[in-house]
Amino acid sequence: MRRPSRTPVLAAVAMLAASTVTVSLLAAPAEAGGRKTKVSATLSTTAANPGGIVTLSGWVKDKGKQKRRVVLEQKIASGWRTVDKGRSAKDGAYAFTVPTTWFYSTKLRTRVKPTRKHRGSTSRAHRLSVVPAYTPLGSPDSWETLGRSRDRWNPCRTLTYGINTSRATPDAGTVSTGIHNTMALVSQATGVRFRFKGETASNPLDRRWKRSDPDIIFGWTTDAETKLDLGPTTAARGGYDRTRRARDARGKAIWEALDGGVIYDLTDTATMNATEFQQLTLHEMGHVMGLGHVSAPDQYMTPGVELYSLPLVYQAGDLEGFSKLGLQAGCTRPVRFRGRTSLERVVPFATTLD
């Protein structure tokens, strides 16, 4: 990270006007010159619940009267991420509404972009925690990864999902509501954005990928029709199949999930009510995002039937696991080989699900 330069520029220019050194200095890059800018930032609170109103506001001081472009930034493991953009008023005042749509505890700051006349600047960073309005059950340590090395999706992408309701049980309306509600809770837990692509004719985890397919697909079948084991005790399986080599924020090699979803056993979901269907989906979406089973029965990632007794929100271990696989963990970068994404390293026959 670069700090703003503190060279007293006005004095330098005045002094150099009568000097031959002027020429070389004036030819220096624009960022090196310009008037000084300072920016202050105040956060209205240090902790909030989802939906809470939080503002980051302050002043841009540059001795000018022009509006300046300001950016709200949030620290994630891969660096400072742009959250919102705006402009200061002529008197320098600015204010951002800070997103409180997902759970995080990290720093926020304001960055002022440089202009031809003024240098850029960065405010002090302030920590904000967005925490659940409910008390999650159990221990934050109760989580496991599903894959080999914290396999995950790139949390900086908007992931699409689609539902194949052609054989859905108990009925299309119930499953759609349960899936949308679950995706909202996964987004809240991870910071990942999901976009519903609508109805799809494709099925998940069948290795017939089409470019137009959503990233995550929900579909129904029977045990007899699938090679994925949906035996007498298995109501659904969730996970991802296509992956590629990528690096995490620290440069460590990981597998980035590219396609995944949930396949339900339509004979099992036929007898479920809306609550049970969503509870099952909360569990399976944990697998889709990269979470494995835990022994604690008070977490959604328990493999036991205890999950059908839990309230319809993720619990302490679930939330901790999601945060380690979500936006807070930073963007992933695909590994490139001679300028191409190394798709040849896709593992087409290693479906990771549970």
For residues 34 and 118, the answer to whether their CB atoms sit within 8 Å is: yes
144 lies in the site for Zn ion, by CB under 5 A? no
Q: Which is nearer to Zn ion, 155 or 286 (CB)?
A: 286
Q: Which is nearer to Zn ion, 73 or 318 (CB)?
A: 318
Q: Would you give the distance in Å from CA 260 to the centre of its chain?
A: 17
Q: Which is nearer to Zn ion, 276 or 354 (CB)?
A: 354
CB of 336 to Zn ion, least distance (A): 34
Q: Which is nearer to Zn ion, 159 or 280 (CB)?
A: 280
CB of 159 to Zn ion, least distance (A): 20
- CA-to-CA distance for 164 and 234, rounded, in angstroms? 20
- CA-to-CA distance for 161 and 215, rounded, in angstroms? 6
CB of 208 to Zn ion, least distance (A): 24
Helices (H) and strands (E) in the chain, counts: 6, 21
238: Cβ–Cβ under 8 A, 6 or more apart, which residues? 260, 261, 262, 263, 283, 284, 285, 286, 287, 288, 353, 354
Binding mask 325-354 for Zn ion (x = CB under 5 A): -----------------------------x
Question: How many residues sit in the footprint of Zn ion (CB under 5 A)?
Answer: 1
Q: Which is nearer to Zn ion, 59 or 143 (CB)?
A: 143
CB of 344 to Zn ion, least distance (A): 31
339: Cβ–Cβ under 8 A, 6 or more apart, which residues? none
Handedness of CA 334, 75, 240, 139 (dihedral sign): positive
CB of 162 to Zn ion, least distance (A): 22
Query: Which residues are at the interface with Zn ion (CB under 5 A)?
Result: 354
